[in-house]
């Protein structure tokens, strides 16, 4: 067996993530664990395993004097090392960590308010800078009279010598991983130490990591991909990782590729949009300074993976040493800790071509006889969990091999359920297929072929018109490509009911550089023509809106449910609308 199968050299069978941290601190004390790029480029700060262990113990001891084990601790940090220290300190003191974005002026706080309401934390942790900058927001979100808020980057009492870590094992609840809220209110997924360790082993083996690996991650550290894959996986595998803020990547996508080139990273990735952004924003001159030859695993997950995106990226950066075989499409979700399928590494992309007419009927027949009406679906890799089945979401019967259905998962990585939501937990985590189970119902649609998982969409997002099923991301891509004024700008497709009939609505942002000379009538005409030609659908209403108004989750997913609500309440900042009856609103 290869070295990648055991990151501990058969010397450790960890009972918790803290065992892994202690192992690294004792065996690799001087090795750098985490490096954070303060400016997104070369200004860096680092922690060795020994330094991390010491600072975690010190803070954990202090936290134990403030609240009892089992309380929730809300983590409101900007990306950085303070967040990592606080996260592990919560585990060490047996507090249940609740990672979340810190409140920001002029940004919506509704999601954070929902998390606070649901988790009922006994303590909030942050930095002094955030506490001072967002003082009024903290007062608005938190009950300052009853909920203490601690800045952990300032000095706190020295370590109590006789303090002992509470008993922690694989069954101990580690943290609440709140869902993105892309199809509703965010829910707190209860992740145990056992879930983390099991999924970390799956990732380690699937990615064929080893001690010589090196990660480079810009993903939000509050979500499954950024936290489990970007922060906890390197610790589990004993290899270094360089971290940067998502904001620094979005401001200048080149920084991501520059960091990979400079630090010779081997593992990095993100959602599909990140690769597309690099293709559009990195210039030919800037490419001349890049060397991406070390990057042998470029994971792509979290949203629909487009063949065009991968082809464009591979072609654009081939001269920089990037190989198309480095692409690693994968699938996972918060309820399964993270990874469900992926790989194998360095294999050619597996693409399944389906006629759109079959896709509309949830059939996955491989028929390319009508080339103009074919949809290409990329495999999200081989199944890594114990069992994955495809089930009809209504009849709850096993789908045939040529049917698309709901993806159900059974594995030790599957979480305990949703915090304080028993009915939702029973509905989603306690599904049975005959006598088989329990299974996690993912809410995602897909099919299996030769052990490979293909994801086609979300059940809650499916648009059903005249008995046919349409995937919103397919329609959104058609709209995006219909006119240069909206190319690469985000949009949302959804349905509304009018007189008992489902009608298609398109809400589309306009590129900022085309606002002044926007040919609104031509844009709307091209949208209608393209949607009719590609999908055979008539658009009921088109709403063109200003940049930045499409609601997204904190991980960048389009919130179609929220878009529908804004449309029905005439609450978009409208440039031009045709069909429907929404009003302009400047507070999007």
At 158-182, the pLDDT tens digits run: 665 667 778 899 999 999 999 866 5
What is the per-residue pLDDT for 63? 93
Q: Which of 101-115, 217-231, 352-366 has the weakest average pLDDT?
A: 352-366
What is the per-residue pLDDT for 1? 31
Mean pLDDT over the full length of the chain: 87
- How far is residue 335's CA from residue 177's CA, in Å, rounded to a whole number? 8
Residue 41 pLDDT > 80, yes or no? yes
Residue 135 pLDDT > 80, yes or no? no
Residue 446 pLDDT > 80, yes or no? yes
pLDDT: which is higher, 216 or 348: 216
The neighbouring-strand residues paired with 188 are 178
Copy the structure tokens of residue 429: 């985590």
pLDDT-based confidence at residue 587 (cuts at 50, 70, 90): very low
**Residue-by-residue DSSP string for 487-505:** TT--EEEEEEEETTEEEEE
Using alpha carbons, select from 56, 46, 3 the residue that is nearest to residue 25: 56
Cα torsion at 126, 129, 134, 136 (round to 10°)? 90
Three-state helix/strand/coil letters over 274-297: HHHHHHHHCCHHHHCCCCCCCCCE
The neighbouring-strand residues paired with 446 are 405, 455
Displacement of CA 109 from its chain's centroid (Å): 19
At 99-114, the pLDDT tens digits run: 998 887 666 677 888 8
pTM score of the predicted model: 0.84
What is the per-residue pLDDT for 85? 97
The neighbouring-strand residues paired with 550 are none
Indicate the CATH number for domain 463-578. Answer: 3.30.300.30
**Residue-by-residue DSSP string for 175-243:** EEEE---TTSS--EEEEEHHHHHHHHHHHHHHTT--TT--EEE-S-TTSHIIIIIIIIHHHHHT--EEE
Residue 3 pLDDT > 50, yes or no? no
The neighbouring-strand residues paired with 35 are 46, 242
Residue 289 pLDDT > 60, yes or no? yes
pLDDT-based confidence at residue 557 (cuts at 50, 70, 90): confident
What is the per-residue pLDDT for 470? 79
Sign of CA dihedral 62, 65, 70, 73: negative
What is the per-residue pLDDT for 4? 46
Buried b (16+ CB within 10 A) or exposed e, 158-173: eeeeeeebeebebebb
Residue 345 pLDDT > 50, yes or no? yes
Residue 301 pLDDT > 90, yes or no? no
Residue 148 has what DSSP assignment? -
Q: According to DSSP H, which parts of 65-122 are helical?
A: 81-92, 110-119
Beta carbons within 8 Å of 393's beta carbon, 6+ residues apart = 405, 406, 441, 445, 459
Residue 13 pLDDT > 60, yes or no? yes
- Cβ atoms of 279 and 322 closer than 8 Å: no
Residue 443 pLDDT > 80, yes or no? yes
The neighbouring-strand residues paired with 99 are 75
Residue 357 pLDDT > 80, yes or no? no
Copy the structure tokens of residue 144: 């300052």
- How far is residue 497's CA from residue 471's CA, in Å, rounded to a whole number? 17
At 378-426, the pLDDT tens digits run: 999 999 999 999 999 889 999 988 889 999 999 999 999 999 999 999 9
- How far is residue 543's CA from residue 534's CA, in Å, rounded to a whole number? 20
pLDDT-based confidence at residue 282 (cuts at 50, 70, 90): very high
Report phi then psi at 96, rounded to 5. Answer: -90, 110
Three-state helix/strand/coil letters over 445-487: EEEEECCEEEEEEEHHHCEEECCEEECHHHHHHHHHCCCHHHC
pLDDT-based confidence at residue 430 (cuts at 50, 70, 90): very high
Residue 585 pLDDT > 70, yes or no? no
Residue 583 pLDDT > 60, yes or no? no
pLDDT-based confidence at residue 582 (cuts at 50, 70, 90): very low
Report phi then psi at 327, rounded to 5. Answer: -60, 140
Copy the structure tokens of residue 365: 């027949």
pLDDT: which is higher, 561 or 4: 561
Using alpha carbons, select from 130, 132, 156, 161 the residue that is nearest to residue 66: 156
pLDDT: which is higher, 538 or 229: 229
Q: Which of 19-23, 128-132, 350-354, 498-502 has the weakest average pLDDT?
A: 498-502
Q: Indicate left, alpha or beta for 487 from its phi (over 0: left) and psi (-120 to 50: alpha).
A: beta
**Residue 545 belongs to what H/E stretch?**
strand 539-545
pLDDT-based confidence at residue 11 (cuts at 50, 70, 90): low
Report phi then psi at 77, rounded to 5. Answer: -115, 150
Q: Which of 148-162, 433-447, 539-553 has the weakest average pLDDT?
A: 148-162
pLDDT-based confidence at residue 488 (cuts at 50, 70, 90): confident
Residue 202 pLDDT > 70, yes or no? yes
Give the pairing of strands 431-433 and 96-100.
unpaired
């Amino acid at each position: 067996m290869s070295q990648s199968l055991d990151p501990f050299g058969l010397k450790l069978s960890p009972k918790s993530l803290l065992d892994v941290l202690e192992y690294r601190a004792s065996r690799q004390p001087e090795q750098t664990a985490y490096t954070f790029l303060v400016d997104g480029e070369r200004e860096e700060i680092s922690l060795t395993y020994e330094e991390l262990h010491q600072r975690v113990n010190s803070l954990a001891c202090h936290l134990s004097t403030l609240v009892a084990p089992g309380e929730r601790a809300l983590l409101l940090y900007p990306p950085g090392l303070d967040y990592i220290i606080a996260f592990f300190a919560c585990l060490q003191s047996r507090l249940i960590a609740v990672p979340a974005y810190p409140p920001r002026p002029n940004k919506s706080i509704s999601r954070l308010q929902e998390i606070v309401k649901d988790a009922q934390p006994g303590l909030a942790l942050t930095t002094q800078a955030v506490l001072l900058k967002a003082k009024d927001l903290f007062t608005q979100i938190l009950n300052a009279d009853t909920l203490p808020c601690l800045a952990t980057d300032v000095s706190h009492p020295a370590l109590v010598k006789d303090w002992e870590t509470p008993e922690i094992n694989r069954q101990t609840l580690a943290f609440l991983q709140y869902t993105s809220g892309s199809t509703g209110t965010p829910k707190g997924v209860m992740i145990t130490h056992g879930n983390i360790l099991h999924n970390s082993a799956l990732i380690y083996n699937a990615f064929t990591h080893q001690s010589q690996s090196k990660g480079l991650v810009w993903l939000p550290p509050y979500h499954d991909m950024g936290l489990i894959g970007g922060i906890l996986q390197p610790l589990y595998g004993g290899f270094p990782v360089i971290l940067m803020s998502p904001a620094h990547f979005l401001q200048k996508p080149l920084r991501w590729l520059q960091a990979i080139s400079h630090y010779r990273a081997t593992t990095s990735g993100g959602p599909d949009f990140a690769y597309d952004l690099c293709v559009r924003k990195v210039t030919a001159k800037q490419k001349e300074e890049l060397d991406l030859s070390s990057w042998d695993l470029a994971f792509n997950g979290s949203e629909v993976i487009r063949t065009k995106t991968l082809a464009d990226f591979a072609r654009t950066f081939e001269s920089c040493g990037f190989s198309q075989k480095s692409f690693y499409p994968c699938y996972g979700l918060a309820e399964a800790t993270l990874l469900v399928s992926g790989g194998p590494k360095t294999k050619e992309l597996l693409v399944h071509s389906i006629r759109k007419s079959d896709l509309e009927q949830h059939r996955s027949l491989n028929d390319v006889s009508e080339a103009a009406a074919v949809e290409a679906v990329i495999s999200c890799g081989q199944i890594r969990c114990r069992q994955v089945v495809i089930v009809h979401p209504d009849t709850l019967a096993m789908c045939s091999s040529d049917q698309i259905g709901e993806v159900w998962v059974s594995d030790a990585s599957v979480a305990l359920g949703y915090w304080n939501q028993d009915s939702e937990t029973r509905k989603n985590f306690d599904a049975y297929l005959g006598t088989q189970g329990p299974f996690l119902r993912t809410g995602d649609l897909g099919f299996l072929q030769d052990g490979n998982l293909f994801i086609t969409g979300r059940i809650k997002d499916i648009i059903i018109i005249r008995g046919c099923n349409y995937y919103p991301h397919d329609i959104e891509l058609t709209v995006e490509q219909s006119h240069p004024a909206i190319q690469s700008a985000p949009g949302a497709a959804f349905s509304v009911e009018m007189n008992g009939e489902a009608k298609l609505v398109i809400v589309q942002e306009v590129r900022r550089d085309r606002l002044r000379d926007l040919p609104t009538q031509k844009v709307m005409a091209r949208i209608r023509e393209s949607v009719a030609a590609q999908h055979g659908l008539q658009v009921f209403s088109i709403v063109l809106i200003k940049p930045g108004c499409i609601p997204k989750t904190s991980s960048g997913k389009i919130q179609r449910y929220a878009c529908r609500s804004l449309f029905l309440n005439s609450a978009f900042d409208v440039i031009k609308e045709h069909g429907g009856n929404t009003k302009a609103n400047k507070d999007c």
